[in-house]
Structure 1
Amino acid sequence: MRRRAEQDWQAGAAAMLAAWPEPAALLDRQGRLLAINEAGRALLAVALPTRPGDDIRAWFPLAEQPGFLAAIAHGSGRMPLTMSPPLAAPRVTEVVLQPLEQNALLLRLGAEAPQGREERLALLGRMAGGVAHDFNNLLAIVMGASAAAAAAADAMERGRELTAIDAAAERGAALVRQLLAFSRQQVLAPRILPLNDAVAAIGTLLPRLLGTAITLELALEEPGRLVLADPTQLDQVIINLVANARDAIQGSGKGGLIRLATGRRVVLGADSEDGLPPGRYASIIVEDDGPGIPPALMAKIFEPFFTTRIDQGGTGLGLATVQGIIAQSGGHILAESPPGGGTRFTILLPRQEMQAAEAPQARPPAAPATILLAEDEPALLRLASQALGLGGHTVLSAADGYTAIEMIEAGARPELLVSDVSMPGMDGVALARAARAICPGLPVLLLSGYAAAALGVDMAAEGWHFLAKPCHGEALREAVAAALAKPG
C-alpha cells in the first residue's frame, strides 16, 4: 500500500510539474533534483545539471548557495538569486521553495512580483471565463441534441441531432487544441508540404477576413521549398498573424497593406544576430504598414495571457499559440517593429529535401486479436471496447492500470495493450512497462490528448505506438491495425 501511495503521489507530482506554466522542479530535502519541467530546461543551459539525482546548487553562484541551502533546510522560502553561467544571459531570478508531500520540495524559478501575478491571474480569470462560456454552450448543444435524439420520431430526425452532437464535440476538441498549442502540447499531424502551395491556398481565403479597406499582397519566392508541418495548424498561424495585422491597421483609423510572402534563410553559425541555430530555413513573412508595436511591449508579445486588448475580449493566447505551434514544429518566429511604423513577423521552418511521392496504400483490416484495453473513464472504456469489437477483436476491459496488470498476472495473454496515458495511480506509461516485463515484446498503443512529445517518453525507443485523443472508432481500429502489423 505504501509503495502504491508513493507511485500515486509521483504520478500526480509529475503531472503537476508538466502543467506548471513557469520554470519549476521537484527536489528532495538534500537539494537533489527529482524532476524538472520543460520550461525549467528551457531556462537553464545544457551545461547545468538537470538529471535526476543532480545537486542543483551548481545552478547558483557559490556566494548565494548558503542562503539557498538554509531555505532547503527550513523547507520553504523566497529569495532573489542569480542564475549561474553558462546561461546566455545570467539574471537575478526570484526563487520560491514550497513543501510538498513525500518529503519533497517544489522549486519555482522566475516567480513574478505580486503585481505581475495579480495581472496574470486577472487575465487567466478572463480566459477561464471565456473558455467556460464556450464549453457550457457546447454542453448545452450536446445535452439538448441528445434529449431530442432520444425523443425523435424517425431515423432522419435522430440523425440530424446526432450530427449536431458530433459537430459540438469537434468544436470542443478544437478549443482544447488551442489551449494546448500555446503550451506546446498540441497534437500535431505534420507532413511534407510545398510551402508556396500552402501559403497560396490560405491566401485565397484571407481577403474575406480583411474587408475592402485593407489590401493583401502575396509574394511567393521561387523556387518553392518544402517544410514539415501540420497544414491545419500552419493555416491557424497565418490567419492569426494576418488578423493581428488587420486589427493594428484598423486601430489607426485608415486603410493599409498586409504583405504575405515566402522566402529562405541560411544560418551558418549559432552566434547569428537572432540567436538562431545553424540550418537552412524556409520562411513565411507577415508584415503590415500599421502603427507598429512600441518597444516597451515588444518583449512581452509572446507571453501567454499578455494582451493590450482586454476591453475588446483579448485573452493573450493568440501569439502564444502561434509561438507554441511553430516551436513544436521545430521552427522559430521573429518579430520586428522599426521606429517608422509597421510590424513584421518572420516564421522560419527547417527546409526539407524533395522526396519521391508515394501513392497512399490502404491498410487492410487487422486480423481479429485479443486486446487488453485500459481506460479509467467508464463511458470511454465502453465506447472504445465497442469500436474494437466492431473490428472483430476480443476486448479485455480494465478500469485502471492496476486492474490491467492483475489480469496479466492472472494469466491473460493479450496480443496488444491499448491504454490511456493519464490514469490515476499507475498511468499508461508505467502500465506499458510493467506489462512488457511480464510479456516481453507485447505491442503497445497509447492514447492521450497531449502530444506524444509532451509525455516525456521516447515512443520510438520504447517501440510503442501513439494515437491522439479524441478520436473516432475508425481511427482507433486503424491505429490498432498498425500496431499489430508493426509491433515496434
Structure 2
Amino acid sequence: MIAAVVLALSFIAWVVSRSKRKAVVSEKTQQTWTRTDGQMLTLMEAGNLVLTQYDASGRLKYISPEIKRITGIGSVDFISERRRLSELVHPQDAEALESLEDARKSGDGEHADIDCRIRDQRNNWHWLHIQQRRIVERNAIVGFETISVDYTALAELKAQRKRATKLQNLCTQILESFLSTDDTRATLNRNLERIAEELEITEATIHDFENADETSLLGSWPGTDPTSSRLTARPLTASESEQVRAACESLTPIRFGTDSGHAEDRTAALCADDRMLTGVIVPVQVIGELSLVLTFVRDQHKAWHADEISALQLIAQSISRRLERERAVQERTHFDEITRGHERSEIIAHLASGIAHDFNNIVFAISGRVQLLQRRTEDPKTNESLNEIQMTLKGAKGLIGALLAMHKGSPRPTGRVRIGPEVKAVMAMIRRLIPRRIELTLDAHGIGDVEVELGAESLHQILMNLIINARDAIDNKGRIAITMSRTVDRQDIPMLTIVIDDDGPGIPESRRAEVFQPFVTSKSSGRGTGLGLSIVQRVIQESGGEISLENAPMGGLRVHIGLRIASGGNAPAPDFGAVRQPSPVPLKKPLNKVLIVEDDETINALLTRFFQSIGVAVTSHSDARDVEASLRETTPPFDVLVMDIDLPYKTGVECIKEIRGQGLQTPCVLITGGLSEKPEGIRNLGFLRKPFEIDELEAICHSMIEDSHSD
C-alpha cells in the first residue's frame, strides 16, 4: 500500500515537472517569435498570419485556421494530407518551398525563411513570407514551427512600382526607335524581341492588314517553326481575316486564354489553342481602318496587368500616329512624282480628308459663337458685321467641301440661288478686301430676277477666288470689271454669263490649261497655294457650267463663266440686314436637360453655353466612358444626348450601340466634323455635320423629344 502511494506521488511529481518544462519551452517559443526582425513585423502588419507545426520527422501536425483565408482550403484537409501546400505553390517558387521541407527532414539549420506564391481556389496568387525554426528540447529536435505572413498587397504595390518603371523605359525606348526611322513596320518587327523579353512573353506575332485583299505576317517571335507555334505564325486566310477584323472593330485590346475568364472564339484565327496560356490582342488602326494586329501570349501563371495592357495600347497609338505620318509622307512624295492634273487632284483631296475633322471643328467653334451673338444683338450694324463673318465662314466651309468632293469622287450638293441679292452681299464683303487704288465695277442690270443651279456657298467661293486672283495679278493698283448677262449655250440652254476682266499682266495661252491643276499658281512665291482655280473649275463643272480663260480687252486676263439658269420657281432672297432669331418650335414636351459628350473643349463650352442660353440644364463629358452610368443614374432623366462621333477611348457610334443594347432609348444627336456617316438601324438617332446652324441643333432636339413621346 505504501509502495503504491509512493509510486503515485512520484508520477504526479513527474507530470508537474514536465508541465513546467513545457511552459518554459512555450514561453521561450513565444519569446523567439516575439523577437521577430523588423521585416517580419512589417509583413505581419500587412496581412494574415498562419502558424504551422511539424513533428521531428517533418510531418505536419498543426496548421492554424487562417490558412483558409488565404487558400480557401480548410486546415483539416492539409493535416489529413488530402491537400498539400506544394500543390498550390507557383512553379517558380517550388524549389524554395522544397528547401524548407529538406531542412525539416535533415534537421540542418536553426532558422530559414523564404518568399513564395500560393494559389487560392480562384486562381489568384498570394505572396507569403515564411520563417521556419527548429524546436529543441534537451539538445534533441522535437519538431519544427513556421510562421507564414500573407503580404500580397504589399508585394503587388512594390511589383506595380517596379513594373511601371520597366514599362515606362520600354515605351520610351520603342518610341525613340520610331523617331530615328522612316519604316515603322520594320522598326516594330525589330522591337518585337525587346517587348517579348520585357513582358516575359513566350510567343508574339504581327499581322499586316494594310492590303485589303490579303493579310500578311509581318513578324513573329521567337521565330519558331509555324507548325509548332501556338499562335498563327503565317498569313491569314480570307475567312480568318474577316473574323479578326470583326473582333478588332474598336481600339480596345482583347484578352483571351485562362486569364480572360471566358471563351474567346473570335480570337481563334490568331490563336487556335489557348489552353494553359494567357494572351492579349492589340489592334492598330490608321485613319479608322485596321492596319496591324499584335498578338502576345505567355504562361498561364503570368496574368496580364492593366498597366501592361495600357503600355501596349500606348505603343499601338504611337505606331498608329507614325503610320499616319508615313502615309501622309508617301502621299506627298507620290504627289511630287505626278505630273497630270487629275492624279494630283486626287492626292490633294486625300490630304484634305485628313484635316477635314479639325478644320470643321474650328469653323464651327467660330460660327457657333457668332450665332450666339446674333441671337443677342439688336444693333443693325453689329448684325451686318456678324453676317459678313458668317458669309466668310461659309466660304471656308465650301473650300473644304470642294476638296472632300474630289476625294469622294461625287458631285457637291448644288441647290438654287438668286443672283441679285447674293452678289450684292458678296460684293459688299469683297470691297473691304480691295484697296482703294483698284477700281472695282459691277454691271448686272440686265440679268433681272434670275436664279442659277448652284449653291450660295459655291457662288460666294467662285466670286471670292476669281476677284482676289485679279487683285493679286494687278499688284493692288488697276481695274477689275465684272459683267453679268443672260445668254444661251450651243444647245439653247439658258445661261448666266459672268465675265471678270482685269488690266494686269494676264496669263500666257500656253499656261492657261496648266493653272487649273492643283498647286499650280502664276503668283509669286508665298502669295498663293494654287488650289483656287482648280476648286472653282470643279464647282462650276459639277453644276453643269463652264469656265475659260481669254485675253481681256483691258489688256489683262478675262475669266469667262457660264452657269445654268434654273427653270421655274423662286428662291427666297436672304435678308442680310435682319437680326437672326431662333425659330419658335411648338412643343408638347419641353427641353429641360441635355447631356453633352464632346472632347474638344472649345466646342463643348460652345454647346454648353448655347443650351444654357435657352434655359436647358447641361451636363458634359469629354469622352464616352461614363455616358451609360450618367444616363442610368441621373434623375430626372436627360431629354437628349448630344455626342460627337470622334471621341477618345470609344467612338460615339460604339457608345450609342452599347447604350441601345442595354435598353436605354434616350434620344441622341450624333455630331461630327469628319467623314463619318449616320449609322443605320439605330432608333431615336439624329445626325448633324459640323459646321451646322445652332438653330438646326435646337430644332432636331425638339423634334426627337416629340417623336420619342409619340412612340
* TM-score of the pair, normalised by structure 2: 0.36
* TM-score of the pair, normalised by structure 1: 0.50
